[in-house]
Structure 1
Amino acid sequence: MTDQLLDQALVEEATKKSGLVWVRGLHVQGDGMSDGMPSQALWHVWHDGAVCLVGDGPGEQPLPGLVDGGGAVVTVRSKDKGGRLVSWSAKVVELAPGSEEWDAAVAELKGKRLNAPDGEAMPGRWARECRVLRLEPTGETASLPEGSLSAPPLATSATTRQAAPAGLPRLLFKKRRRA
């Protein structure tokens, strides 16, 4: 009983303090849960005993593999050092727009959303175009794995900046000659 209370306190405190969690959705199959998508970094808020997320809409974070009634594994990192602190199992609950739970979660998420393009109109856009999810802890924590679990990055259309042409510094910094 004491270990369970300590695990619950660790999950809550670590998740509250971390602005970013790694979430891996689990698919439900006939014989139980199986691994779904790879883990993905998501911003969140801790509200009313669960992680609240918004996404799957234009300009918002994608939430692949997270389906209502499904499961997820949440890994929380240290805000100071960036290392894994705890991994815990969660039940995914999609909140209905306009419900009391949705309004409370959106009020918390709105305060933490950085660089929103639409400011005060954001909750209306979320209601029309996005999903708001709660990841409710099931009480199960996983032991930390051995090794780094590093994996190659997921494929993306994002690109890095191209190298500057070799002659550019000469053009930018050449001294003007007096006539």
Structure 2
Amino acid sequence: MTSELLERALVEEATKKSGLIWVEAVPHTGAHPQVAPARALWHVWHEGAACVVGDGPGEQPLAGLTHGGEAVVTVRSKDKGGRIVTWPARVVELPPGSPEWEAAVAELKGKRLNAPDGEDMPERWRRECRVLRLEPRGATLPLPSDSQAAPPPPSPAVTRRPIPAALPRLLRRKRR
């Protein structure tokens, strides 16, 4: 019982203090499981869960997170950036306009940086976004032993090209 309380306290304190959490949706067992990579999400800790808003224009993507689904949340240290704790979560989508949604949005609104619409933000979230609660469940998970770094996704924005033949001459000229 004591270790459960300590784990719960660790999850809550680490998540409250961290500016970002890494969230990975756990795929549903079925014919076509959708696996989304872990994403860094800004959040707010509210009433025992991490609350996030997204999936609307100009907001963070919540790919793979569905109501009733599961996720794995990794919390990093705010000052050092290293992993502190990893915990399993149940995903709950809050219905727009419900008392729970209103309370979560009031907290999220204070943490949202650079919002294009200021005071109208909650109304836009009601129309265009989803607000999710990531509720801790079960014991914390062991931290991975590897770096978990993934190669960047393919992109046409490539910088690996041969240097121009004249560049070494131009650089030598600048030194003089």
TM-score normalised by L of structure 1: 0.83
What SS does the aligned partner of 2:147 have? coil
TM-score (norm 2): 0.85
8 A contact 1:53–1:133 mirrored in 2: yes
Q: 1:37 to 1:100 in 2, by over 3 A?
A: same
**2:140: which partner in 1?**
141
Amino acid at match of 2:15: T
1:156-167 correspondence runs (5 A): none
CA apart distance, 1:153: 2.4
2:22 match: secondary structure: strand
Query: For residue 152 of structure 1, what is the amino acid of its counterpart?
Result: P
Q: In angstroms, what is the RMSD of aligned CA positions? A: 2.0
Structure 1 residue 152: deviation in Å? 1.2
2:88·2:136 contact (CA, 8 Å) conserved in 1? yes
* Cα offset, 1:51, TM superposition: 0.4
What is the CA–CA distance in structure 2 between the aligned matches of 1:157 and 1:57, rounded to whole Å? 25
Following superposition of structure 1 onto structure 2, how do residues 14-33 of structure 1 map, counting pairs within 5 Å? 14-29=14-29
Aligned counterpart, 2:171: none
Deviates further, 147-156 or 11-20: 147-156
Give the letter for the 2:141 counterpart. Answer: A
Residues 156 and 25 (structure 1), Cα distance of their counterparts in 2 relative to 1, 3 Å cut: farther
| Identity of matched residues, % | 70
Segments of structure 2 that go 5 or more residues without pairing to the other structure are: 160-166, 168-176
Determine if contact 2:28/2:34 at 8 Å carries over to the other structure. no
Counterparts of 1:38-57 in structure 2 under 5 Å?
38-57=37-56
Which residue type is aligned with residue 115 of structure 1? N
Alignment of 1:82-97 (within 5 A): 82-97=81-96
In proportion to residue count, which structure has more strand? 1
Corresponding position of 1:59: 58
Structure 1: runs of 5 or more not aligned: 161-165, 167-179
The one-character-per-residue Cα deviations of 1:40-85 (angstroms, maximum 9, x if unpaired) are: 1000000000000000000000000100000000000000100000
**Partner amino acid, structure 1, of 2:8:** Q
Provide the residue aligned with 1:169 in structure 2: none
Is residue 125 of structure 1 aligned with residue 124 of structure 2? yes
Residue in 2 that maps onto 1:177: none
